[in-house]
Amino acid sequence: MVSPNRSRKGSARAQPVRTCIGCRDRVTPSELIRIVAVVSGSAVTAVPDPRRSAPGRGAHLHPSLACLELAVRRKAFTRALRVEGQIELAAVKAYLGDPEGSLTSPPDQVSSTTTSPPGGAHR
């Protein structure tokens, strides 16, 4: 007997789907970068995990500054990574090409406050 989730001829396999914590679009994991929380004492740092192999809970984000801005504004990192307090996003900003950190960062989300860039969605 064939399971309802499998076909007889081995047709295209269903791809996993992940949600971007910024724009909330549901896409395949290959379109997103995985972010993990690294805890060192009382400091929490969000770090990109491009190989998707780091241990622990991960959050997924489109590789765009617009989605990062939305995630910061929505306080999505603390929720998705299930951590409390401030999260340092310098490594994620550098990975996305914003080494000076020109994104708005609410004080309860990130440890430094900066200005907001003009722009819209990630596409």
Domains, in order of start, for the chain? 18-95 (3.30.1230.10)
Taking the CA atoms of the chain, what radius of gyration do you get in angstroms? 17
Both tokens assigned to 53 = 């192999």
Q: Is the pTM of this model over 0.85?
A: no
Q: Which residue bears the tokens 């989605």? A: 67
Residue-wise pLDDT for 76-104, tens only, equals: 999 999 999 899 999 999 999 976 656 54
Residues 33 and 53: their CA atoms lie apart, in Å, by 12
Confidence band of 108 (pLDDT split at 50, 70, 90): very low
Residue-wise pLDDT for 53-67, tens only, equals: 999 999 999 999 999
